[in-house]
Structures are given as C-alpha cells and as structure tokens.
Amino acid sequence: MITDPFADLDVFLGIPRIGGLWLSPDGQRLVVGMATLDQRKARYSTALWEIDPAGELPARRLTRSAQGESGAAFTPSGDLLFVSSRPAPDGDEGVSSLWSQPAGGGDAWVVAASPGGVRGVAVSASGTIVFGSSMLPSATDLAGDKEIRAQRKDAGVSAILHEEFPIRYWDHDLGPDRTRLLVAENGGEPRDITGHVGRALDDDCSWDITPDGRTVVATWAVAEPAGSQRHTVVAIDVATGERRTLADDPDHDYDSPRLSPDGSRVAIGVRKRYTPRDPGDRWLSVVPVAGGRIHALTAEWDRWPHSARWTPDGTALIVVADDRGRSPLWRVDATTGQPTRLTQDGAYTDVRVAPDDRWAYALRSSVDSPPAPVRVALDGSGVEPLPSPAEAFEVPGRLEEVTTTAVDGTPIRAWMALPHNANSDAPVPLLLSIHGGPVMSVHSWSWRWNPWIAVAQGYAVLLPDFALSTGYGIGFIRRGWGKWGAEPYTDLMSITDAAQDHPEIDASRSAAMGGSFGGYMANWIAGHTDRFDAVVTHASVWNLENSIATGDIAHEFRRELSPEDAATHSPHQFAGDITSPMLVIHGDKDYRVPIGESLYLWWDLSARSKSADGSSPHKFLYFPDENHWVLAPNHTKIWYATVLAFLAQHLRGETWQRPALLG
C-alpha cells in the first residue's frame, strides 16, 4: 500500500492512475489502462493490464511501450486492439497507429498506420473494424494524405484557411485535416467510407458498427445559420458509403449512438436544445436502424442517463445517471423506459456488460477513492471489487455530507472533506471549492483540484452542488439558468454558512476557489463579499460577454446567455469592490476560456493598487504551454505548491514562500 501520498506532492503525482476498461466479446478477458509517470517524470504513459473478470487472479501487464497505449477494443477471436504512437514499420514518428496483440500471446502488429492518427475504434461481430482518422481535404487515400502532409512540412506551412465556425476546440485547432471514417476488413488495407466531410465527424462525434459489419451508425455534425451547428445521427453503408439520416431535428441534438446486440436498433442520447430562458432537457431514445419513429425512452425520468450499454438480450440498457452527489448504475427497460437502480454510493464509468447478463463491469470512484475496477450484479445484489494493478492507499481524512436550505427554500447539499485530527478543540480553516461545468455534479474522484492535498495540510474542503448542478432534477438546473450570479451564488453562501456552523470548522478563516465556471464564481464572490480571506481563480471568466464571443463554442454560449444576462452577471463590473487577495491562474492554450480573460482580470486588479510601490496582495500564475487544465506533472506540482503557499499566507499568517521550481 502507498503510505501517506498526500503529504508529499512528488509521491502524489507518482500514484498510478486507472482509466479505461474493455471486455472481450466472450466475457473472458477484461482490460484496463493504468497511467504512470515516465522515467523523467515529465509525462504520464498508459499501459494496458488484464484483470480477471472473476476476481480471482492478480492483474498482469500486457503492453510496455514508452509511448503508451489507449483506445482498446477486441476482435471476435479475442485479439486485443489498441492505439499507440510506438514506432511502427513504415509509420510516421509520433503518430498513433492501430495495433493488434494476439489473444494467445506474441508480438503486436500494425493493423492501420494513418498519418492523421486513430481514434474511436469499434469492431463488429463479423470482424470488421471501423475507426476515425484525420485526413487533409484534398486527399483521396492514406498515401495521398501522407504526401500532402510532407509537402506542407517541407514548405514550413502551418497556416489553416477556415471557411466556417468553429475553428478550435478546448486546446487544439480544427483543421486543416478533418476526421473521416475508415474500415479494415479481413486484414486488408483501411478503406475510407466517408470521404472529406468537413466538421461532420469532429471531436464530439462517436460511432458504432452493426454485428454483421454492414452498417456504421454515427453522430454527424451539421452546419446551421449564425455560426451554429447541431448534431444528428446517420447510418452509413460500409460497402458503398451511402448515408441515411436516422435522427435530425433543429430543436434537438443527438449523441452517443449504441447499437443493440441484434443490430436492429440504436440507443441515442437526446438533448432538447436550450435557450437563455430554458435549460432544455436530456433523455435516452431508441430508433430502428432501418429508419422510423424515435422512441423517447426516458423522457419522463427526471434524471439524465448517459453511457448506455445494451443487455445481451436487448431488453434493457445499463446507464449512468447522476443522483444527489452520486452517479450510480441503472437498468432501464428498453420498452417502457422504467429505471431500476443497481448501485447506491459511488460514481461509475466505462461500463461493459457481460454476455451472460449476470454482470456489468465498470470503474468505480467516489470523492474519497480513485477509479478502480468492479463488477456489478445486474440483479442489483451488490458490487464486488476486482484485483487492480494500482496499489491501494488511504486518504488523510474523512468525508461527510453537509445539508441546508437555500434562500428560496430548496434543499441543497455538499460533500465536506475533513482532516482526521479536526475537532472542536482544534477547528480547521475552510476551503470552498466550486465545481466547473456548471451543469455537472461533485460525485467522483479528481486528480486535479484534489481536496485531499489540502486536507493533508490541515484544511477542510467543502464541495457543494448548487443551482445548475445535475442529479437533482431539471427544476434544480432551471433555478440558476441564465442567472449565474444569483441562485448559484446564494446557494454557495448558504452551504458555506452551514459548513462554518460545524464544530470542527474555524469560521474565522476561509477561502473560495474554483476553475472554469468555478473560476467565474470565484470572481463573482470576490466582487460581492469580503467574507473570504483569499480567493483562487483558475481558467476563469471575467468579462462574461467578451468570453462568450471569443470562446471556442461561442454558438453554444450564445444560446445559453442573452446579452442582457451576460451584462447583469459579469464579474468585471464589480472589480472595484474586491478586497480579498486573489491568486489568478491561467494557461495560454485555453480556448474554452481564452487567456484574455485573466489578462483583463489581472489588469483590473493591478490598476487598483494603492501602494506607493505599486505592489498588491494579488498574484498571477501563468502557464504558457498549458490549456484549460494543468496536465504536465511538474506544472501540476507548481500549481498545488503555489495554491498552498497562497492559502498559508492568508489563512495562517505564514510568510509568502515562492515555490522552488518558480525560481
């Protein structure tokens, strides 16, 4: 067991991390990914490990390349497919290729080496493989794509000519290459079945293939007026590339197609499109692959199911849906839509259903435990842990729930992480940690903003769900919709009041902190109350109208907030009211909330300095090569060290100490 990993950031960063789970068609092989630090401790590399579905044998490692592996799948015979940028014969250095490792052992071989990489691998029961790969618009095949890329590289050209919005996503540019779907059959060369389709198959899109290998069902992005787009669902004939539309409605978006075991139906996620006055809704639907009426399966359920997997007989779907600070598994009847809860505590991802219909395999985590493989009895009788390749460890505290009533009378709740030694004789400072999204919930483990790092330093961390959070019904989201600075803010203040009434909390020492929407709310809090001794704001919105216009998904933000709402709830208008010291953090490659937001905030804070020498209590931690998140291990270490030093200065009265790696 790893001992005391939260007191030493180097030890914490070295903890192996489980992510991804895949099950072979016969249910006999179960594979997970485990990320570990490389030798230079500069990046994480993921290896694939096989674990025993019966829970009896120890895990064994399957892959060992320095580049790592991901995106696994299985062939009908049990061979393991995976994506890796390990060196390949005739492959481009640093480009991900599709590899196959024989079930009986032996060296892996390259199934497909595409210059534009490989993602979204799916395999039919007949053995046909479909995957996505980015190709340049004028390329007619993989060889031509490779030649055009070489010409651009030799000419030193990186320019991209855009003819439509959007032009980038999260942390990367869109284009000049765009995703196409390729199929590989009977060991032959991959064949393009879509041709150049522009935005249609980009980042948010996914696909599945029928058991007979004849049809691919995919999410398909369609351009709309005013720089917008919507997502539809299409069926693509593998032999001819002919497309048929299965779901398309200007008032709805569709996602995550999942084919039934017999290939006759496809389950799809449906989202009623929101407006500035209506948050819309989400449900699960089923539509015939041959075309026909879309059956809104869970439209009456006041929860948002996702990650659907069919049971082997096609009579039900196993789904995940947030519920009151948890994200359990549910069994949904494929005819009536009636949900049955299968698990109680914890949050589940990467669900796979065994062919005998007895078990679902998944990764389970919670706020106080990282993802680990489990099997869940589909009769609802329990959850069993499976042997994991990652060592176990204990968090340095305990988790409690805090509840109270909002200003409008709505019940609200939060998780609170407390040090083991906190007691009424030695109360500890409180950190209000505000989640991003904002339409999400605090229910699972996070390696970023991990509360137990602060708990190990003697802080309590409050992790609330507030108006706009999921798992409490559409009415709870509607409370804060278009009113970011109203109910979400008052909910946070109410739950903070309740936490500070806890006998083990020192109400005289507190800080507020958050990233993304949580950073927006940290900025709003800084301009509306002086109750916090310090505020940490990461990747945050400052001028709401400006952020909407310059973000990567401006078309979606425009549908969510009217210009009037943006003006009313923009934190920058209250810059003159800020009295709490602020730590501003941002990455230059953040395209969701562009760096200009923190530059504007930093100027507003600096311009109000009253000191003769121009100094102020505020600080700005800037990462030139990070994005919306801070991912490089040493940058993560700097992030935590800086935040902890800032909190120690303002909540404990310690002398400011610049982290060593910052010079």
Q: In 3D, which of 357, 445, 383 has the Cα closest to residue 55?
A: 383
Predicted confidence (pLDDT) at residue 199 exceeds the cutoff of 90:
yes
pLDDT attached to residue 170: 94
Number of compact structural domains in the chain: 1
Please check whether residue 558 lies inside any domain of the structure: yes
Average pLDDT of the residues in 48-55: 97
Cβ atoms of 131 and 121 within 8 Å: the answer is yes
Predicted local confidence at residue 39, as pLDDT: 86
Count Cβ atoms within 10 A of the Cβ of residue 100 and give its class: 0-12 exposed, 13-18 middle, 19 or more buried. buried
pLDDT over 70 (residue 91): no
| The predicted structure's pLDDT at residue 208 | 98
Whole-number Å distance between alpha carbons of 143 and 128: 21
Nearest residue to 406 via CA among 325, 494, 475: 494
pLDDT digits (tens, 9 = 90+) for 342-383: 999 999 999 999 999 999 999 999 999 999 999 999 999 999
Position 58 confidence tier, pLDDT thresholds 50, 70, 90: very high
In a domain, residue 211? The reply is no
Tens digit of each residue's pLDDT (9 = 90 or more) over 455-475: 999 999 999 999 999 999 999
Max Cα-Cα span within the chain: 76
What is the residue whose two structure tokens read 């210059």?
115
List residues bridging with 306 in a β-sheet.
320
pLDDT in tens, 498-533: 999 999 999 999 999 999 999 999 999 999 999 999
Residue 263 lies in a domain: no
Q: Is the bond preceding 373 in cis, omega lying within 30 degrees of 0?
A: no
Residue 390 lies in a domain: no
- For 528, other C-beta atoms within 10 Å of its C-beta total 15
What's the confidence (pLDDT) of residue 93?
A: 65
Q: How much is the average pLDDT of 619-631?
A: 97
Beta pairing class for 505-515 and 428-434: parallel
Instruction: Say what the pLDDT of residue 105 is.
Output: 84
User: Are 173 and 627 contacting, i.e. CB atoms less than 8 angstroms apart?
Assistant: no
If DSSP states are collapsed to H, E and C, what string results for 540-570?
A: CCCCHHHHHHHCCCHHHHHHHCCHHHHHHCC
pLDDT in tens, 95-153: 889 999 999 888 999 999 999 999 999 999 999 999 999 999 999 999 999 999 999 99
Q: Is residue 490 part of a domain?
A: yes
Instruction: Answer yes or no: are the C-beta atoms of 459 and 533 closer than 8 Å.
Output: no
pTM of structure = 0.96
pLDDT of residue 187: 85
Per-residue pLDDT tens over the stretch 11-49: 999 999 999 999 999 999 999 999 999 988 899 999 999
pLDDT score for 96: 87
CA distance 254 to 544: 28
* Amino acid at residue number 369: S
> Domain range holding 401?
397-662
Q: Which residue has the higher pLDDT, 92 or 143?
A: 143
Contact 276, 563 (CB under 8 A): no
Sequence-distant contacts of 262-266: CB under 8 A, at least 24 apart: 262/211, 262/314, 263/210, 263/211, 263/212, 263/215, 263/289, 264/288, 264/289, 264/290, 265/289, 265/314, 265/334, 266/208, 266/217, 266/233
Quick: pLDDT tens for 392-434: 999 999 999 999 999 999 999 999 999 999 999 999 999 999 9
- Mean pLDDT of the 303-321 span: 98
Q: What percent of the chain has pLDDT over 90?
A: 95
pLDDT given at position 90: 63
Judging by DSSP bridges, how do beta strands 329-333 and 316-320 pair with one another? Answer: antiparallel
Assigned domain for 651 exists: yes
User: What was the pLDDT predicted at 456?
Assistant: 97
pLDDT at 610: 87
Whether 199 and 228 have beta carbons less than 8 Å apart is answered as: no
Asked if residue 481 is part of any domain, the answer here is yes
Residues 468-494: pLDDT tens digits?
Answer: 999 999 999 999 999 999 999 999 999
Structural domain contains residue 524: yes
Domain CATH number, residue 479 = 3.40.50.1820
Number of separate helices (H) and strands (E) present in the chain: 11, 38
Q: pLDDT averaged over the chain?
A: 96
CB 240 within 8 A of CB 192: no
